[in-house]
Amino acid sequence: MGLDIDISEEAGVRYLHFGSDWIQGAMRIARPWALELDYTREMMACLLLRPEASWPRRVLLIGLGAGSLTKFLHRHRPAARLTVVEIEPQVVAAARYHFRLPEEDAQLRIEIGDGADHVMKPGPAYDLILVDGFDADAKTGALDTLPFYLNAKARLSDRGLLVANLLSRRKDFRTSVARIKEAFAGRAVALPSCASGNAIAFAAVGAPLAATPADLKARALALRKETGLNLLPTLAGLPSGLAL
């Protein structure tokens, strides 16, 4: 039995649902490459930790949804090579038909498969791994386990970051953060949860990363000028900056 996919629209925004009112993705029709949902914008705060234009060179996105993160990176980091692993073919079809997902090319490759299996296999190192995979019941399965986080860490480059979307309304949210910290030897931090109930966790390998509030503000202003993405509201919840 296939996944039940529904599309709705309201006030100029198109939404993706998996057979319920739960929002799995969104696109403002007038700005299809912009990040509409708060949590997707917060996931791109990784660009404040590594602000150089040459980063990331290679990205793994686990879970496609409406393709928001994929489209943003495809447009604003054209030198990056993007690999998307999505377990449901219907989601890929919906993203292409309803959410303007770009066609595969030298920059973008779509793989139908399990993200947990993908990181277990040998392959190229990724500078950035974005994890945003949920089923119709908002369950992550193997994507929120210690073995997965350890395997993902092993697939990161020496300048690598993992960014994971966690549901802060779930009882095991703090346990999820603890698992990431265990896998990354404590080098992980979660942002304060946003109104939607999502919380974004970051984890790093390689040389220590630290950004003061002033650093982050300057980088956020530069990123807003470059891409239109405004991360200043996110920084309001980080009075001490970010360190990994």
Which residues are part of the catalytic machinery? 132
Instruction: Please tell me the distance from the alpha carbon of residue 35 to that of residue 25, in angstroms, as a whole number.
Output: 10
Instruction: Please tell me the distance from the alpha carbon of residue 223 to that of residue 48, in angstroms, as a whole number.
Output: 8
Find tokens 């304060």 and name the residue. Answer: 192
- What is the chain written as a DSSP string? -----EEEEETTEEEEESSSS-EEEEEETTBTTS--SHHHHHHTTHHHHS--TT--SEEEEE--TTSHHHHHHHHH-TTSEEEEEES-HHHHHHHHHHS-PPPP-SSEEEEES-HHHHHHS----EEEEEE----TTS--GGGGSHHHHHHHHHTEEEEEEEEEEEETTSTTHHHHHHHHHHHTTT-EEEPPP-TTSEEEEEEE-SS--EE-HHHHHHHHHHHHHHH----HHHHTT-TT-EE-
Which amino acid would we find at residue 134?
Answer: F
Q: How many Å is the Cα radius of gyration of the chain?
A: 17
Find tokens 């190192």 and name the residue. Answer: 125
